[in-house]
Amino acid sequence: MESYQTKKTKNGLRLLVVKRPKNPQLIHFQFMVGIGSDLESGRQLEIGHFLEHLFVSLTSNKHPDSKANRELFSRNNINYSASIGTKNTVYEYSFRKTKLDLFLDLFVNGILDYKVDKKIFKSEKSSIIEELHEIIDDIAYHLETYTDEMLYRGHHRTVSQKTRLANTLKMTPSQIQNYWEKYYRIPYSVVAVYGSLDIGVLVKKIEAIAKKIKVKQAIFEPLNKLALTDIYMPYKQKNESKILFSRKHDKITTLKLSWRINMNIFSRDYYKIYALDFILINDLNSLLLRKLRTEKGLIYDIESFFSIDELQGDLSFYTFQTTVSSKKLMQVLTAFMEVIDYLTKNRIKEENFKKFVETQRQLILDRNESMDFSHTLTTYARSYLWGKNILTQEAEDKHFVDVNRDEIFKVSRNIFQTNNLYISYTSPNNVNKEIEKLLDSQDF
C-alpha cells in the first residue's frame, strides 16, 4: 500500500509526498488551502469561487498572463482543475515527471507572488455568473434554498445563490487580490504530491525557486496569529422550525429528511454511519428500499448523502431524498419512520451485516487494483492541513470492516431521534400538522 512522507520548507510550507512506484513517470499534484465558502459574507460572497477560476492558472508577477500559462499547460500536457468547499479550496494538476521543474516555477511563483490577471477577469466572471444561473434555474433550487435556511439558521450557508449572484456582478479584481493576500497564507495550506518522488529533492527545488522571489513577509505568517481552526466563526445552532413546506402544484413531491449528526469528518463514528447507510439503501434488499419500494411500491428510488464538516460538528448532516406521488407523501413518511423505529430498537440482522462486510472487502480489493489518486491525495492532505493524524488507505480500509452490529445499533440510537430531524418537502398541500402528529407518535 501507499507510504507517505511529510516535511516543511524553510519558510514553513507543508509538503506531503505519497509514494506511487507503480507509475514512476506520472505526478499528481495538489495545493490545498483551508479557505472555503464558510468565510464569505457581505462583499466577499463568491470570492472563493473567483479564486477557484483565476488562481488555478498560477499567474504571478513573473508569469502574469493566464492565457499564456494555460497554453503552456496544454503544450506540456499539464492537466488542471480546481474546486471549492465550505472549508477548503483544492487546486489539482497532473503531468509527466519530466515537467516537474517547469511546473514548479509557475507554482511557487503563484503561491508566493500571485497576481490577478485582469485580462481574463471579465470572461471568468461571466462563467461564474452562468454557473450561478444554472443553479438558480434548477427545479430543486427553491427547496434547496429553503432547506439550507432551516438547517443552517444563523450561518453564512443560508445566503441564497441569488444574493451571491448579485454580489458576483459587483466583484472587482482588487477585491480578489486583497482576499488572496489576506487568507492564502503558507500556514493555511498544504502541498500534496502522489508519485515516485523524493520529498527532500522536492523541498530543495521549491526553496531554490522561493529564494529568488520578493514577497511580503505576511504570507508566511498566520492571519493575526490565528490558527486555521480559529479563522472560522463559531457556530451555535439556533431554535428553528423543523418542518418546511414549499408549495408546488405538481403531482410529484420532493422529500428530504436530514438528521444533524454532530460529528466532524475525522470522527471514527463515520465508519459506523457508513455501514448503517449501506444497510439502509444499498440495493433493493436493503431496509429502506425493501420497505418503500419492494413491499409497498411507494417510491422508485431514494438517495442519501453526508454533509460532514471538517471542524464544526453542528454543521454536519445525514440526508435522505426521494420523490413520491404527492398523494402518498404521508404513506412514505410513515413507512420511513417504521424502518427508523426498527433500527433504534433492534440490532441489524446478521445476514445484513455480513453482506456489508463482504461488499467492503471486495471494494478494498478493487481499490488496490485501481487507486483513485485524487481521492487519496485529498484525504491525506486534508488530515495534514487540519493537524490530524494521516490515516492511510490501508488503515481506513480496516476501519470500514472493523465495525460490529452493536456499534451500528448504538449510532442508530444516537442519530435517529425526532428532535434531531429536519423535514422539507414540496407539495400542492401543506401537511405539516399530519407530519407533526406522526413524529409525536414516535418514541425514538
Phi, psi of 441 (to 5 degrees): -80, -10
Is the domain of 189 the same as that of 302?
Answer: no
Residue whose C-alpha is closest to residue 84's, from 162, 183, 153, 13: 183
Contacts of 83 (CB under 8 A, 6+ apart): 52, 89, 90, 92
- Could you read off the pLDDT of 263-318 as tens digits, one per residue? 999 999 999 999 999 999 999 999 999 999 999 999 999 999 999 999 999 999 99
Same structural domain, 67 and 120: yes
156-168 mean pLDDT: 96
- pLDDT tens figures, 364-411: 887 776 767 788 899 999 999 999 999 988 899 999 999 999 999 999
**Concatenated DSSP letters of 370-405:** S--HHHHHHHHHHHHHTTPPP--HHHHHHHHH---H
Is there a single domain that holds both residue 215 and residue 336? no
Please choose, from the candidates 318, 314, 295, the residue with its C-alpha nearest in 3D space to the C-alpha of residue 306: 318
The verdict on 274 and 402 lying in the same domain is yes
Q: For residue 235, is it within any domain?
A: no
Report if residue 150 sits inside a domain. Answer: yes
Residue with the larger pLDDT of the pair 191 and 394:
191
Q: Is residue 238 part of a domain?
A: no
Domain region containing 423: 243-440
Q: Which of these, 14, 171, 182, 15, lies nearest to 114 by C-alpha position? A: 182
Is the Cβ–Cβ distance between 319 and 258 less than 8 Å?
Answer: yes
Looking at the structure of the chain, the number of domains it has is: 2
Q: Are residues 90 and 139 in the same domain?
A: yes
What residues contact residue 259 under an 8 Å CB cut-off, 6+ apart? 317, 318, 319, 415, 416, 417, 420, 421, 422
Residue 434 pLDDT more than 90?
yes
Both 254 and 226 in one domain: the answer is no
Q: Do 271 and 415 share a domain, yes or no? A: yes
Same domain, 221 and 274: no
C-alpha 417 chain-centroid distance: 25
| Spatial strand order in the sheet of 317-325 | 243-247, 421-427, 252-260, 317-325, 302-307
Residue 237 belongs to a domain? no
Residue 156 belongs to some domain of the structure:
yes
Residue 422 lies in a domain: yes
At 189, list the grid cell: 495550506
Query: Do residue 402 and residue 288 come from a single domain?
Result: yes
Within 13 Å, how many C-alpha atoms sit on residue 365's CB side? 5
Q: What percent of the chain has pLDDT over 70?
A: 98
Look at residue 364 in the predicted model and tell me its pLDDT: 84
CA 24 to chain centre: 29
Domain boundary among 230, 259, 286: 230
Residues 247, 225 share a domain: no
Using CA of residue 362, residue 368, residue 374, residue 376, what is the dihedral sign? Answer: positive
Say if 236 falls within a structural domain. Answer: no
Domain end marker among 181, 199, 230: 230
Is the residue at 381 inside a domain? yes
CATH code, domain carrying 293 = 3.30.830.10
Does 191 share its domain with 258?
A: no
Indicate the residue among 209, 230, 251 that finishes a domain: 230
Q: Does one domain contain both 250 and 370?
A: yes
